[in-house]
Amino acid sequence: MRRIIDLLIERLDGLVPRHAVVLGSGLGTLVDQVTDQVRVPYSELAGFPTSGVTGHAGELVAGYLGREPVIMLSGRSHYYEKGDARAMRLPLQVLAGLGVHSLILTNSAGSVREDMPPGSVMQITDHINYSGMNPLIGEEGDDRFVGMTNAYDADLSVAMRNAAIRCGLPLFGGVYMWFSGPSFETPAEIRMARILGADAVGMSTVPEVILARYLGLKVAAASVVTNYAAGMTGAELSHEETKDVAPIGGAHLAAILKEMLA
C-alpha cells in the first residue's frame, strides 16, 4: 500500500485533497467537472480492483472541483462481482493514507417511493444492510466493532442539503437498503423493503461506509434514482436503464457536490 501512496503523491505533484468521491454506475461523467486533472488507471495501482461492470471506468481522477482539491474514484468493485465485501478496502485505505478526511459516496439506485421519480437525487441519511455481509468479518481486535449510529456525518449532511438549496435543486433524504445483487430485486422484496423503512434500494455503498468508518473517515452519500423499483410500474429492470438515466440526476448531483465542496 505504501508504494501506491508514494506513487500517487508523486503524480499529484503537491495536490493534497481532503475530500474524495466514489462514483457509481453511470455517474462517471462527474469527473468532467474536475479541472487540472491527473488521471491514473486502476491498472497502474497494484491491488486496486478492476470492475467488470459497464459504466465504471476504473480510474483515479484528481484535480479541483471549483477551488477545492478532490480525488474521485471513477468506478468501484461490487460485492456481487467476486463475493467479496472487502473489495474496496485497499482504495479506501489509500485515500486515508493520502490525507483524505471526508468521503462522499454516490450510487445509482431504485426508488421505493412514488414521490421520488427517476432523475431524483436522494441524500442517504441511514442504511439497512439487508445482504448480511460485512467487510470487517475476519478482522481482529476491538476496532472491528465500529459504531454505526452516526455513520453519515452530520456536518457533511448539512453541507450537502445547504448546497442543494443554494443551487435551487431538490434533494430528497432517505434510507438506502443494500441488496447483494447482481439480480434485481423482486416485487415482493420491494414491498418488504418499504415496510422495513427503505426509500431506495441498490447493490453498493454500504460496505464502503462500514470500511470508511473503520478507517476513521467522515462519510456522506447520495443516490441518483434511475428507476422505480421492481413491481412499481410493471416494467422489467435492466442495467441499460441505469446507465441511460443516471446522467440526468448525475448532472444535478454534480452541481450539488461542486457547491458543497466549494
Task: For residues 210 and 245, give the distance between their C-alpha atoms in angstroms, rounded to a whole number.
Answer: 28
- CB within 8 A of 237, min separation 6: which ones? 110, 184, 227, 229, 230
Position 188 scores a pLDDT of: 97
Query: What does DSSP assign to residue 246?
Result: H
Whose CA is closest to 225, among 199, 191, 205, 206?
199
For 133-170, what is each residue's pLDDT tens digit?
Answer: 999 999 999 999 999 999 999 999 999 999 999 999 99
Stated pTM of the model: 0.93
Return the residue matching grid coordinates 448546497.
163
Number of residues in the chain: 262
Delimit the domains of the chain by residue range. Answer: 2-261
User: Stretch 232-251: mean pLDDT, rounded?
Assistant: 79
Per-residue confidence band for 32, with pLDDT thresholds at 50, 70 and 90: confident
Task: For residues 227 and 77, give the distance between their C-alpha atoms in angstroms, rounded to a whole number.
Answer: 22
From the candidate CATH numbers 3.30.565.10, 1.20.930.40, 3.40.50.1580, 2.40.50.140, the one assigned to the domain spanning 2-261: 3.40.50.1580
User: Stretch 10-19: mean pLDDT, rounded?
Assistant: 93
Lowest mean pLDDT among 40-44, 176-180, 236-240: 236-240
Return the residue matching grid coordinates 441498490.
202
Lowest mean pLDDT among 45-54, 97-106, 241-250: 45-54
Whose CA is closest to 128, among 237, 222, 205?
205
Residue 36 identity: D
Check pLDDT > 60 for residue 56: no
Per-residue confidence band for 51, with pLDDT thresholds at 50, 70 and 90: low
Per-residue confidence band for 52, with pLDDT thresholds at 50, 70 and 90: low
Check pLDDT > 80 for residue 37: yes
Lowest mean pLDDT among 14-28, 127-141, 205-219, 236-250: 236-250
